[in-house]
Structure 1
Amino acid sequence: MNNTLAKSISSRLLTLAVLLLLVMLAGFSIFSRSLFEPQILPELEKKAEKVGTYVLAQIDRAVEWGIPVDKLSGTDELFDDILADNKDIGFITITDLNGKRLHLRGTLSTTFDAGLAQITRDAVQAKAMTQGRLGTVFITKSLPIETDTGGIVGVLHVGARADFVSNQLEEVYYDLAIILLVAALFTFEILLYFVNASILRPIRDIHEMATRLADGYFGRPIAPKTRDELGRIGLRIDEAVASVRRRYEELAQAVTGWGADARAKVTGTLDKFEFAFPPKPAELHSSGQQGTALIRIAVFVFSLAEELTRTFLSVYIKQLFDPVPGLAMEVVIGAPIALFMLLWALAQPFAGVYSEKFGRRKVFLVGALLAALGLVASGLALTLVHLLIARSITAIGYAMVFISAQGFVIDNTTRETRAQGMAGYAGGILTAGVCGPAIGGILADQLGFRITFILSAGLAIAAAAMVYRAIQERPIMTQAERFSLKNLGLFIANPRFMGVVLFSAIPTKLALTALVFFLVPLYLNEQGISQSMIGRVLLLYWLAMIFVSPVASSLSDKFGNRKFFVVVGGVLAAVAGVVAVLNTSIWSMVIGLTVLGIAHGLVMTPQLALVTTLSHGQQTQKLSETTVLAMFRLMERIGNVIAPFVAGLLLARFGYAGAITGIGYILAGCAAICLLLFVAFREPSAPAHEGRA
């Protein structure tokens, strides 16, 4: 059954929800400016007055000792300290009686000199503190500097930034826009589940029942769980099928009382009808599409737990840094990230074996609890060693969760619906990638790094609770389908497969970890960018992937040329590394990360389809799709593992701009080799028959 109904219903509901949120956002924005600005401006004036009174007390002491105002020393240091602690103060200056600047710290252009001179004369004439404005930029408090004899020798001016309120409200608008986006994505995830659970699942059950009846199988009722319109239709069908069963049983009982000849005559008819009620494996419970929709939400919530820490993880590691003899600080900072990726990669195949042996649900629950424990320990870490241990526990938990979730999707989809199921699974991860950094940046700014880790652990537990309550186990897979490290040699002997892994998959993960997780947050932090803004910048990467990935997937399937998308994505990723540091403006980083997101969106789905096709060599064609994907995931994690060390070494030697550019050059080289390899060989045709993976 196609998904036209699902897309129609979910898109309409989502559009309505987004429109309502937009109206609310616009209304709140207009209301907040008219409400808060009149209340905050008087507070700014009081702030400028307090700062001026404090500074004047320091200056009066020097003037009492007979030091001329133009000869005062130490004013720059005093003013700098005050400006550093009070972001709403734009400048502090001392002028002579004619308004000529004698001491100035802060930003005050010469275009304001005429206005400053007039404000000075007003303060001298009034012989008291006065208030004025320099254009629309500054609200000034001017305080005369007097000697013991009552003579005025200068004027102290403190300028509060009149645009401070607008800037603060602009920050609020950014946050509201992020909240709008997150709310829309959350709404989509929730609607997607309920559309599947409440509408599509009942329709699908009725459709499957009609198919079974057409095949002459009357053995399994629909047994609807709801009593809405679709549920009542299901009950009516169940009653009709039960009626047929009762008539059959009555006929069978009547036959037992007939004569031998009659019984022999009817038995042939009953034998033909008997196939209507055989026991079938289909009687086993199947979560089907409803289960895959739920696992998407569970994966989304679980992924959100780690994504909350993306914006500040490298900064948090830097705070716990202890010097290690012989190693640069940048390399040591990269160690927890590299260890996390290494253990995640190594644990995945073994977690896959356990999920097949003990069940997807059990492994998911254990992994989620381990990840929650690791996140709590990360938030409580006092040293870098403690953090390494905590991140190791988290990595193992993440490997268990993701491999079991992926196995659940494979178990509950057929070859025809596999792509849709995996796209939904990946969609939950990408959505979390959009929501997590932005929310995490806001939480880190408001609550601190450690509390954000604790909140992340709560999300991991919430995902475990969702799976515990709603997911049922599938039958255990056979031993022949299980992952084995012995298969590694078969893949290494396949040059086409290894070409994609070495020059496309590993560079993709290298770019993701080195740039998005490591260098960019550190670089922006060094530029004085707030954690909230860093989160917004990182969000653009994931947002670009969400929009580009489904389009690339559809086009690559339509034209059947996955190699084109892989090469173009690799080239764009290299360009992104160079563009990101064209200048020190944050806009270069914004463009660079957006281009990188587009590049990885082009690569992600075609890359998976390509390696599955390229694995159909003489040696690997006997392996299941599960084994191919597990081995591919293991190998591509090499990029995640080496990325922090490569980035750290480049950072120690060339600085932030050089390190980011260096990553771009590495990606360019890999893209060039990948292109040459694709020119050298053709894609092999997939086998005519492929079993269930």
Structure 2
Amino acid sequence: MIRRWLLDPVNRLLLLTGVTVLLALSFISAVAIFSSGQTLLPLLAQKADAETRVVKDKLERALSLGIPLQHLVGIDELYQQLAASDSDLDFLVVSTPATGTDPAGQVLYKTGSGANSATDVLAAPLSHPHLHLDLPAYQQVRQAVLVTSQPLLLGEQQVATLYLGHPQRALLRPLLDNLQDIGIVLLVALLLSFELMLLVLTLNLSLPTRTAIRVLGDVAEQRFTLLYGYLNRDALGRLMQNVNGIIRRGAKAVTPQLTRENHLVGVRLLTFLFVFAEELARPIMPSYFADLAATVPGLDVNVGAGIIMALHMMIAAVVLPVGSLIYDRIGRLRLYMIGAILATLGLLGTGLANSYWDLVFWRALSAIGYGTTFVACQGFVLESTTRQNRARGTAMMLSGLMLADICGPAIGGILVSHIGAATTFQIGACASLLAALAVTRLMSGVADHREAPPKLTFAAFGDTFRNRHFLALLFLSAIPAKLFLSGFLYYLVPLTLISSGISVADVGRILMLYGLVALLAGPALASITDRLERPIYAVIVGSALTAAGMLSLTLHPSVLTTIASVVCLGVGQALSIPAQISSAITLSASAIEKHGQGPVIGSLRLVERLGGGTGPIVAGALAAHLDAQGAVAIFTAIAWSCCLLSLLMALPGRRETSPC
């Protein structure tokens, strides 16, 4: 299989490009890591200098009150206070002034985790002289320890010397943080490089080649009905322009038409851009919205933040069927451009909002834009595919969405920690504006299949929802899945992590795991689901994985169990969501025969999105009354209840009422 993949020249070019980008970014990352050590040492020295002066002032004040140097008390407590705020502090030493006969002085007090080796460090020669070029004279590096000294004065006379030691290994902590950020940027850069290379190769090589083959095949059969429709001026373009001249001269009974291959790779990038714009600020949304909710008297901040997040999801859900109704009148290009512009304005306003009600307006506007662009992308897929390749076209669009779920929170967490939440929203607006500018190029082409997004008529809606098995699937599987995604992952996980002191960048990395796991595990799990005769069991297993992850977080709250719960959610939904679609189609055979698959799938998507919209409200209300951990426990109970009820209905003895 790998050999067959490598035989494709496009795949070989993609592999070569990926390896080249990886090597270049790895070299840049290594240079950044090694150079940051030189940059961080002066910063560590500034911190050590400030702490030493604080201790010096306190000790000199004690001496000025007449307390003898040999009877000072509280040195250990003073060290503990410093160590509580600076875990990098190694030792604190007070010694008599150095003399000709005693260059190190006599140690009077020493405390700290490195107190036993402090005397040896102070007596050691300077290490790495090049490190001292940017350090003041009273700071030296000895035995890989940065030693900061200050004289203790009584009046004008020096009576002792104060030393604080900070090991150079303290530089590893910020280096590791930088390394994590570099790793995230490296991963995102590789993914985006692949996307751009795929786009360039498809638009400039694959599609023109396929069109040329199609036109030449038409000429070989002496039909002369097709003309090569690309205007590129490369060798293939010049050749096919000559072929076009031959076709025009040979066509007698018919008028040849320009033809171009429809492409779906553009919709993948367009989906990525508008979802990425929204996902950038995902790690900080609950706390950012809560800060503005605090300006409303009598409104609990958790409930207020949940309302804002739910409002966005519910409006986007309502826009989907409405957008499908106006799709034919406006067209996909203008519909996407309008949506992208609205999303741009909404994200800009969100970052600049000064009050809660401003935030409500701008998030509603952003939701309208989000839903509109989604309808445009979905409609383009339907127009450009047939029933035979529609699943592949949908997968192309969903892959862009999952890629945004990976890249958005990860990069957004880094941005928020460095430039703040408001600016991150504005960067998201720039991404949305870029989508509006790129749509004419990426969504161009003549559609072969004039099929608009499915319309939810009242008749189709009623026939679908009269099926109690379909309703059981909705209320026990589809709605809870979106409830846990929006309420647990998007609301409770960031809220819990940030309240426990986790940085926003780390929150983004943890949220990224959901999309990464779903992207990696999705194809394999989907193939397993296709082989199952009763996909309801895949839905049940996926629900059980989700419930098990939340249960581990409920029983033992920690960063590791939070990561485990996010991973379980990603695997569980990658397994259950495709199975939900298969189950819905199986259950609604009579409705599909009468109205087609569109209304059934559209009804499923509409209701589950409305269910997802309630997630942040439920999570916010529970967090307001029980705290975040109590809310997680309630969500766990809901997950296990839905899982057990689905299992009971799917048992062989209950086949007549089984949801699948």
TM-score (norm. length: structure 1): 0.81
Alignment of 1:267-306 (within 5 A): 277=254, 288=262, 290=263, 292-306=264-278
CA contact (8 A) 1:130 1:143 kept: yes
Match of 1:642 among 614, 618, 622: 614
1:355 corresponds to 2:355: no
Cα RMSD between the aligned structures? 3.7
Partner of 2:102: none
Partner of 2:128: none
Distance 1:76 1:406, change over 3 A: farther
Partner of 2:99: none
Q: Distance in 1 between matches of 2:186 and 2:140?
A: 39
Task: Show CA shifts across 1:310-355 (max 9, x none).
Answer: 1111121122232666654322221110111111112211111111
Match of 2:477 among 487, 496, 504: 504
**1:320 alignment partner, SS class:** helix
1:57 corresponds to 2:57: yes
Note the C-alpha offset of 1:373. 0.7
Distance 1:516 1:75, change over 3 A: same
Distance 1:169 1:488, change over 3 A: same
1:190 corresponds to 2:196: yes
Q: Distance in 2 between matches of 1:561 and 1:313?
A: 39
Which residue type is aligned with residue 519 of structure 2? Answer: I
Match of 1:596 among 558, 562, 569: 569
Note the C-alpha offset of 1:513. 1.0
Q: Distance in 1 between matches of 2:468 and 2:217?
A: 45
Distance 1:237 1:581, change over 3 A: farther
CA contact (8 A) 1:613 1:683 kept: no
Note the C-alpha offset of 1:480. 11
Note the C-alpha offset of 1:233. 5.3
Match of 1:606 among 550, 567, 579: 579
162-171 or 323-332, larger mean C-alpha shift:
323-332
Alignment of 1:245-644 (within 5 A): 245=251, 249=252, 277=254, 288=262, 290=263, 292-322=264-294, 328-472=300-444, 474=447, 482-485=455-458, 487-559=460-532, 561-580=534-553, 583-617=556-590, 619-644=591-616
CA contact (8 A) 1:222 1:238 kept: yes
CA contact (8 A) 1:374 1:394 kept: yes
Note the C-alpha offset of 1:544. 0.5
Distance 1:155 1:488, change over 3 A: farther
Task: Show CA shifts across 1:283-304 (max 9, x none).
Answer: 697762x2x2111111111111
Q: Distance in 1 between matches of 2:483 and 2:324?
A: 24
**1:318 alignment partner, SS class:** helix
Note the C-alpha offset of 1:674. 2.4
Which residue type is aligned with residue 548 of structure 1? Answer: A
**1:160 alignment partner, SS class:** strand
Distance 1:413 1:609, change over 3 A: farther
Note the C-alpha offset of 1:6. 11
Distance 1:208 1:669, change over 3 A: farther
Distance 1:43 1:645, change over 3 A: closer
1:20 corresponds to 2:20: yes
1:225 corresponds to 2:231: yes
Note the C-alpha offset of 1:28. 3.5
CA contact (8 A) 1:298 1:467 kept: yes
CA contact (8 A) 1:582 1:588 kept: no
Q: Distance in 2 between matches of 1:7 and 1:564?
A: 39
361-370 or 351-360, larger mean C-alpha shift:
351-360
CA contact (8 A) 1:369 1:464 kept: yes
Distance 1:477 1:19, change over 3 A: closer
Match of 2:146 among 132, 139, 154: 139
Q: Distance in 1 between matches of 2:522 and 2:313?
A: 23
Match of 2:174 among 165, 168, 172: 168
Which residue type is aligned with residue 330 of structure 1? Answer: N
Distance 1:76 1:379, change over 3 A: farther
CA contact (8 A) 1:94 1:157 kept: yes
Distance 1:377 1:235, change over 3 A: same
Q: Distance in 2 between matches of 1:278 and 1:172?
A: 63
Note the C-alpha offset of 1:23. 2.3
CA contact (8 A) 1:10 1:188 kept: no
Note the C-alpha offset of 1:433. 0.9
Which residue type is aligned with residue 555 of structure 1? Answer: I
540-549 or 480-489, larger mean C-alpha shift:
480-489
CA contact (8 A) 2:293 2:356 kept: yes
Partner of 1:114: 116
Q: Distance in 2 between matches of 1:479 and 1:305?
A: 26
Q: Distance in 1 between matches of 2:189 and 2:10?
A: 15
Q: Distance in 2 between matches of 1:555 and 1:210?
A: 41
Partner of 2:103: none
Task: Show CA shifts across 1:409-446 (max 9, x none).
Answer: 01110000100000000000110111111111111122
Note the C-alpha offset of 1:610. 3.2
Note the C-alpha offset of 1:376. 0.7
Partner of 1:41: 41
Task: Show CA shifts across 1:384-411 (max 9, x none).
Answer: 2211111111111111110121111011
Partner of 1:90: 89
1:658 corresponds to 2:630: yes
Q: Distance in 2 between matches of 1:39 and 1:411?
A: 55
Which residue type is aligned with residue 361 of structure 1? Answer: L
Partner of 2:133: none
CA contact (8 A) 2:345 2:366 kept: yes
Note the C-alpha offset of 1:468. 2.9
191-200 or 420-429, larger mean C-alpha shift:
191-200
Note the C-alpha offset of 1:132. 7.6
**1:416 alignment partner, SS class:** coil
**2:283 alignment partner, SS class:** coil
**2:593 alignment partner, SS class:** coil
Distance 1:537 1:101, change over 3 A: farther
Identical columns (%): 28
Task: Show CA shifts across 1:362-400 (max 9, x none).
Answer: 211111111111101100111122111111111111111
Note the C-alpha offset of 1:9. 4.4
Q: Distance in 1 between matches of 2:452 and 2:384?
A: 18
Note the C-alpha offset of 1:43. 5.0
Aligned pair count reads 631
Note the C-alpha offset of 1:186. 0.8
Q: Distance in 2 between matches of 1:683 and 1:19?
A: 54
Which residue type is aligned with residue 113 of structure 1? Answer: A
Q: Distance in 2 between matches of 1:361 and 1:12?
A: 33
452-461 or 656-665, larger mean C-alpha shift:
656-665
383-392 or 657-666, larger mean C-alpha shift:
657-666
Gaps of 5+ in 1: 123-128, 250-273, 687-693
CA contact (8 A) 2:95 2:162 kept: no
Q: Distance in 1 between matches of 2:453 and 2:229?
A: 35
Distance 1:42 1:458, change over 3 A: closer
Partner of 1:672: 644
343-352 or 605-614, larger mean C-alpha shift:
605-614
Gaps of 5+ in 2: 97-105, 125-136
Note the C-alpha offset of 1:157. 4.2
Note the C-alpha offset of 1:599. 1.5
Q: Distance in 2 between matches of 1:394 and 1:80?
A: 48
Distance 1:326 1:131, change over 3 A: closer
Distance 1:377 1:199, change over 3 A: same
Task: Show CA shifts across 1:251-272 (max 9, x none).
Answer: xxxxxxxxxxxxxxxxxxxxxx
Which residue type is aligned with residue 90 of structure 1? Answer: L
Note the C-alpha offset of 1:609. 3.6
Note the C-alpha offset of 1:521. 1.2
